[in-house]
Every structure is written in structure tokens, then in C-alpha cells.
Structure 1
Amino acid sequence: MSTGSPVGSHRVVSPAGALPQAADRLDPDPRIADDEVRIRVERLNLDAASYRQLHTAHGGDGDAIRADVRDIIERRGKMHNPVTGSGGMLIGTVDAVGPRSPLGLKVGQKVATLVSLTLTPLHIDDRLEQWDGRSEQVPTSGHAILFARSIAAVLPDDLPEHLALAVLDVCGAPALVRRVVARRADPATVAVIGAAGKSGSLSLAAARDAGAATVVAVVRDEIEDARLRWAHLADDIVIADATDPLRLARKVDKALDGRGADVTVVCVDVPGCEHGAILSTATGGTIIFFSMATSFSAAALGAEGLAADVEMLIGNGYVPGHAEYALDLIRGNAHLKDLFIDRVGEES
């Protein structure tokens, strides 16, 4: 191939004129353009919302989940769940680098892609036979293509690969939380909804790191409550159903002495959490939506209908320096690291 489009539009099979993320199908031809990079894929990490949808749709049947994911990749030339609209990311080894690639990668480097699988040309050659369909992390063999405007991080030597993959999958969350909390004039109160998950626990640590006055973790049950109390990542922990807006708001208000949070972070991988987040946020506060299960129309219209003067941000997964910051949080907090190991150890 000659030099391609830096955003990968030359890889779009259909529809004509679409960018890779919005495309129905991509071309994962292993021959690279002058500004592309080919990765030998070793493991995929499905995003939480996508895996939950697949697990629910197939009643937890691992064989059926595996068959569905394999069909999506083979049919679309990428891992782009048509129900959730989300994908995940991957790790692998740099296999070939075009002479005009600006990514600075070298053949033989082990890397994690920091762009979504929904826009990454992907081919698998093992029919996912190494995966039992029962975890978000998918060992596999194949290749993927990075464009000139893609992002990738060289995997660190001091962390296990499956742990680094889990951290890098959600590294945009803590970086944006740090930015939003740190820019407020006074120390902020922060509520993280879905705090026991990967992005949630990192967001708790980032809020603390940014100087939050109070950090409240919202979890779904006693098991998650016990896990976070052991990790000491929050000042208070609230057990609440994030899809029950009135009860959620009452519990968050109580934890914050009668007022909503200055910053509310939504990391729940199920739909229907928008209104509860709005009601849990103080006037003039900020809501950061990180979940791919979020309905942004429900959030916008709900805030309007509730006459809520709140700023709402979409966590787009990219903040400059986000990968190293997330890894440094893990390195610097033994409890957070153990929490991640406990979670991904079952998925490795």
C-alpha cells in the first residue's frame, strides 16, 4: 500500500465516506501503508459494557459468547459490538512499521493500543479457541492495524501484562477526573458511581490525588462495599442501585451532609444511570460519564427536565499523559494494585 489516510479512512469498506469508528466494515489487510503499523495480536480486552451485554444476551454461555465475538470480528473486520457500539482494546507485539509512521514504535516492542477496537482493523486466525468466553480478556492470535493518528503505549516491564492491559483499558478515566477536580477553585466533593470497577477505583484514587475534600464511593452490594473498605480508597461508601435515581441521590446527599457532589463520576456499565447522577450533583457541579452504556440524550434531556445547572462531560478515553498516570497510580498505591490483581487475576 502507499501512504494512507492518517485517520484510516482508506480502510473503510462500507459505507463510503465514513470514518473507521462509524464504518460497518473495515479492511484488515495485513499489508500496511507507509504510515501504518501492524501489531501481532496476543490478547483483546473487551470493554465492560460490551462484555456484560454479550454475557446477558447468551445467559453466560461461554461458547455462545465466543461464537458471537468471533462472528462480529469476521463480519466487521473489527471488534465493534453492534448493540452497545463499543469494543475495547488489545495488546500485542509490533510486527511491522511503515517508514512514514509517526507513532515512534519499533518492531518487537510489546504494546497496548489506546484506541478503541471499534476503529481498529482486526483479523483473528485462531477462531478464539484459546478463550472460554467467560472473561473480558480474550487470548487470541491475529493482527491489527494502527493508523498515523492512532495511539499505543509500550507495556511496562514492572507489571504483569494482563494487569497492565486492564489498567490501560480505562486509563482515560483517572486522568480526566484529576483534571476536573484539580481545576476547581475549592477542594471538591466527589462521588464515583460504580466505584468498585476498574475505571471507578482508578477514579477514586485520582480524586484523592487531585486533592478532593471528600470522596464517596457508590457500589451495588455488600461484596463491593467490603472490597473497597479494605482498599481504603474512599472516605465513605454508599450501597445503592445506580438506576434508582431518587434513592441514589438521597444516599449521596446524606453522605455529603445534605448536598450533592461537586463532581460526579459515572462508571456503571449498565444503562439507566443518567438521572441518578444528575440528582446526585450539586448546582454548578460537573458530571463525567465514562460508561459506554450511557444514553447521552437521556442525560441531556433529563438535566433539562430537572432544571439542573450541571456541566456534563463525555469521557472520551484520551487525555495527554493518561497511560503513564494510570500506571503510576497503580504503582504508588498497594491497595489499588491489589484490588486490580484480585479482579483481573480471575480473567488472566
Structure 2
Amino acid sequence: MDARSEEVHSLGLHRVVEPQGMLPQPAWRLDAEPVCHDNELLLDVDCLNIDSASFNQLKQSCGQDLEKVKERIAAIVAERGKMHNPATGSGGMLIGNVAEVGPHFLAADQLQKGERLATLVSLTLTPLYLTAIHDVDMETGQVHVEGKAILFASGPYARLPEDIPEQLSLALLDVCGAPAQIARIVKRDQTVVVLGAGGKSGLLCLAQARRQLGNSGQLIALESRQEACAEIRRLQLADDVLQVDARNPVAVLEVVETVTNRRLADWTINCVNVPDTELSSILATRDGGGVYFFSTAIRFTAAALGAEGVGRDVQMLIGNGYAPGHADLALDLVRTQPQLLQLLQARYTRVQQN
């Protein structure tokens, strides 16, 4: 039977190989055959943005060896039909050109062949077929490839802006759910702590929290790297910038107690890309406050049981990567923060120059 005539599902159930009956994200393996079904979008892929927690794990497990990282990415995609790191359970996102649009794909008449798009859904549920991996940027986690990918009818996407370099746009859109959630939860006069404040999601959360707070409240940036602390200070987004290892909950508690006069945070935002930071986030937060876990390195059983174990009554939110308007919000955020845009451009545009 022609693949185009097979029964298809808007959530991509027809692409699940193992175990059948599951949705594409939790499934172990997907059918990544680069054939466009009636309700799908087929993309020519040229760049993947591996999420920070996943890429950090890949580098560590491969001994920081570039060729081994390439081999591991290729092996995961070949085995699973998607870039779904089995160690972290996370993926990332991609950019590519429209190759074919199924006639029943949402807004099919608004897309043109060759148009440049970024997917706004995780690589953990995106059927992906790679024919080559050309290069991996070991600093940013961006992977230059040749291949094909499928976007389901339920999957949002964004057209790449003309005023921001592509590699930077990809990095921003990969984490655009974070500042969108900050815009919802942070209110004036609150005390906000951002863990892992020096990464791209951390910086966007700082910028959005500053926008929400204005001149009120207290915004505290926690970061383990000295260079990143210096960058945050130059941006002047935070009231306090503290160098501390987020894996040390006692140290985090002590520094937050000191700068808040023991009030602690109304909201703690976790953007750290390494495991074992759950208790640090919880201890930094006052009773009745909230923790927003955007990091994909978080173990939610550890967070729930940890809060219980230390007797801390906090609301805990999972970092949903989707919110209506999240892509436009993130891009607008950096457009209105020239120094932040300059810093991020310095990190990501070098990928294009190499």
C-alpha cells in the first residue's frame, strides 16, 4: 500500500514502531521513512540543536571526543528513528527547508517549498532520518547534518526571522518556552532566583523576570562558572550575581538566605543542565513559593520526595516547552535587549564562521 494512503493520525501514532499504541514522544522507536503522509510536513534538515542536558551527557559519556559524539548521535537516530537521548530522555529541535507539504497538513496553503522553518517540538517525538553528520559544535550543541524530518499536524513551527542569525534563532527557539512561562508566573515585588543563569535559557529567564519585576523586587542569578557570572554582571539584569555550584543544596541555601535576609525566593527558576539540583531549588524557595523546573536534567520523583523530606511546602511546575506566542516573545525579548543579543550572537554566530 502506498504510504500516502495509509491511515494517519494528527498526533503521529502512525509513525510509532515500538511499542505500538504509544504516542511518539514516549515510544522507543519511530518510523522515520522520509515519505510525506497526507497530514505531515517533510523537511530537508541541515542543523539540529541538541538540548543542553542531553548534549552535556553526550560529551561526558564520549570523553569530550568530537568523533565519538558524532557516532553516538548517529547511533541514537538510527536506532530510535529520532534524536531521543536514552540517558536524559531529552532531545532538542531543528531547522530545515520545506521539502513537501501534505495536502491535509494544517495551513498547508501558507507554506512554500524551500521555506526555512524551525520546529517548535522536541526531537524526542520528531521522526528523523540522517544521511550525514558534518560537524558538531562542542560548545553550543548544534549539529550540522544532512537528512529528512517529519512534522506532524499537531506540531508547531516558526519561520526564521530575517534580522537574527539562523544559528542564534535556533538556539533561542529551542528554549522559548522558558521566558513565556516566566511572563505568566513572576509578579512585581517578588524575589526571584535563577539557577544556571548563564546559559541561554537562564539568560532569557533573567531578562524576562527583569521585565516582569521592573524596578521592584529582587532578582538573583546563581551560576557556577566565573566567566558566566562576569557576563551576567555586564548585562546588569540581576540585582545579585552569585557563583555557586547548584549541585550543593546547602551552599545554595546559605547564599540565598544571605542576600534575601532569610526571606528566600518567591520563585526559583531551574535552568541547570546537570543532574542533582532538585533540592537546591527547593531549599532556595520560601514556604508557599514556587519552583519552575525548566531543566530536562530534573528527576521529578527526587524533587517531590526531596520537598517532602525537608518539610518545604512549595508549588512545583514542570517546564512545558510550549505556550501560545512563545517564539515571538523570546525573539522580541532579545531584540529589546541589545547587550543580551550581542552576547548571544558572539556565542552562536561563530558556528556559521567555522
- Check the 8 A contact 1:78/1:120 in 2, yes or no: yes
Q: 2:50 aligns with which of 46, 53, 59?
A: 46
Give secondary structure in 1 for the equivalent of 2:186. helix
Letter in 1 for 2:185: V
Q: How many residues are matched?
A: 344
Structure-2 residue corresponding to 1:181: 186
Residues 82-118 of structure 1 deviation map (CA, whole Å, 9 limit, x = unaligned): 1111111000111111111114533222110010000
Name the counterpart of 1:19: 23
Tell whether 2:293 aligns with 1:277.
Answer: no
| 2:143 corresponds to | 138
Partner of 2:101: 97
Report whether the alignment pairs 1:334 with 2:335.
no
TM-score, length-normalised on structure 2?
Answer: 0.94
**Aligned: 1:117 with 2:119:** no
Shift of 1:30: 1.8
Give the distance between the partners of 1:132 and 1:195, measured in 2 at CA. Answer: 21
Percent identical:
47
Do the aligned partners of 2:192 and 2:268 also contact (CA within 8 Å) in 1? yes
Q: Deviations over 1:226-261 (max 9, x none)?
A: 111111111110111101101101101212222111
Instruction: Give the one of 158, 161, 169 matched to 1:156.
Output: 161
Q: Compute the displacement of 1:24 (Å).
A: 1.2
1:288-327 to 2 correspondence within 5 Å?
Answer: 288-327=292-331
Q: 1:268 to 1:6 in 2, by over 3 A?
A: same
User: Which 5+ residue runs of structure 1 have no aligned equivalent?
Assistant: none
What is the rounded CA distance, in whole Å, between the counterparts of 1:299 and 1:328 in structure 2? 33
Alpha-carbon distance, 1:33 to partner: 1.6
Partner of 1:192: 194
| Aligned equivalent of 1:167 | 172
In the alignment, residue 128 of structure 2 is paired with which amino acid?
L
Contact 2:137 2:351 in 1 (8 A): no
- Aligned mates of 1:242, 1:205 — CA distance in 2: 20
1:340 Cα deviation from its structure 2 partner? 1.1
User: Which residue of structure 2 aligns with residue 8 of structure 1?
Assistant: 12
Contact 1:260 1:280 in 2 (8 A): yes
**Quick one: distance in 2 between partners of 1:132 and 1:241?**
25
The Cα RMSD (Å) is 1.4
1:202 is aligned to 204
Residue 248 of structure 1: aligned partner:
252
- Aligned counterparts, 1:194-233, within 5 A: 194-211=196-213, 213-233=217-237
Q: Is the 8 A contact 1:124 1:143 kept in 2?
A: yes
**CA drift at 1:134:** 6.1
SS across alignment from 1:94: strand
Taking the aligned partners of 1:220 and 1:125, their CA distance within structure 2 comes to: 38
Contact 1:189 1:263 survives alignment (8 Å): yes
